[in-house]
Structure formats: structure tokens, C-alpha cells
Amino acid sequence: MRLFSKLLLLLVLCISVKNADAQSDWLEKITEHRAKYFNSYPYQDRKPYEVADTLHLDFFAPDSAFKVTARFEPIEDAKVFEMPTYSGSSKPFQAFGYLHFKIGNDSLRLTIYQNIQLLKNPLYKNELFLPFKDISNGSTTYGGGRYLELTKFDIDPDNEVELDFNFSYNPWCAYGDGFNCPVPPSENHLSVEIPVGEKAFKKTGH
């Protein structure tokens, strides 16, 4: 009996160490993702903000409750449609599939899309686009919603997808005018609050 108890304790300790390592790796990925905002965008030829504006970027603390496993449901023979942008123009997209998931006790669904223009580029043909709104928009987060990036390779053989809202980010329209940012379709308006990811831009007067 003592041997069994010791083995059980050892197993629990090994699982705890493994979970701690996974948590550490996850936090490191989030840190790297956010660093792109400070070290990449301001130095591009076409950029959403200047180096000085990085002082006004803000993020929620990471919360693993908003990293969920979603069930992927493909959409067959979806028609191409024009997704409006906040500049008044539109871009051609096609629905690729549904993601079914739960946050707390809420059963939710989001649609993921393919950008038709990117499909023509071999470098981006596997990119998927996930725009969404939630009830935090207009208060703690940008009123126009936020985005998540996925690829076809994120869908595993069991049709499951890791959906991590901690990586959600603002469209460029959150920082200024003159950008063609797609408006999240009504089917992607969530009835819950998503208090993770990027917050509203804090620059005074914006």
C-alpha cells in the first residue's frame, strides 16, 4: 500500500511539473506575440502607428479560461461574398467552417473565413480569418471588434482547433483612419465578454 501511495504521489508530481512547463511555454508565446506590436509594426513602410504610440497599446492579463478547444465543422460549397470594411469598401471572402466551443457555461459558435485574394498567393493560401465582436467592445476593447489568425494546419485530424482569445488583436482601424479593416459579420457577434487579448488603444483623442 505504501508503495502504491508513493507511486501515486510521484505521478501527481510529474503531472504538476508537466502542466507548469506547458503554462510557462504558453505565457512565453503570448509575450512574443505582443512584442510584435512594439518591435514590428512601427517600422514598416505602411504602418498603423508610430514608435511613440506604442505607449498607448494595452493588453489584458493572460487567462487560460479563454483558451478552449473548438470543434470544427466544415462548410461545403460556400459562396463568395463581399465583407464590408470600416472604410466603406469591401473585400471578397468565403466561409470556410464553423467553430463550436464553450466558455464557462455558454455554448458559442464562430465562423472562420478565407480571404479570396490571399487564396491566389501560394504563401497565404492556407491562412484563415476569424473576426469577432463581444460585449466588451466600446468599453475595454475597440468598438469595431477584434481578430484572430488561424491556418488550415491548426485543424487537427479529429477536427479540433485550439482557440486562444489571448492572442486576439485590434484591426489597424483601431489606431487611425485610412485602413480597409473587415467588419466582423453579425454571425460572429458573441453574447459574452472576452476580457483577454488586446484592449482599446489608449491614445488621447483617438
Q: pLDDT band at 23, cuts 50/70/90?
A: confident
The answer to whether the beta carbons of residues 146 and 140 sit under 8 Å apart is: no
> What pLDDT is attached to residue 7?
45
| Residue 185 pLDDT > 90 | yes
Q: When comparing pLDDT for 99 and 206, which is higher? A: 99
Q: When comparing pLDDT for 4 and 152, which is higher? A: 152
| Residue 206 pLDDT > 60 | no
> What pLDDT is attached to residue 115?
95
pLDDT tens track for 73-103: 999 999 999 999 999 999 999 999 999 999 9
Q: When comparing pLDDT for 82 and 9, which is higher? A: 82
pLDDT tens track for 37-61: 777 665 566 677 777 777 788 999 9
Q: In sequence order, what are the residues at sequence separation of 6 or more whose Cβ sits closer than 8 angstroms to the Cβ of residue 180?
A: 85, 86, 87, 89, 91
Please state the domain extents for the chain: 1-39, 51-188
The answer to whether the beta carbons of residues 182 and 84 sit under 8 Å apart is: yes
Query: Long-range contact list for 145-151, CB < 8 A, 24+ apart?
Result: 145/171, 145/183, 145/184, 145/188, 146/170, 146/171, 146/194, 146/197, 146/198, 147/171, 150/112, 151/126, 151/127
> What pLDDT is attached to residue 41?
65
> What pLDDT is attached to residue 179?
87
> What pLDDT is attached to residue 62?
96
**pTM for this entry:** 0.84
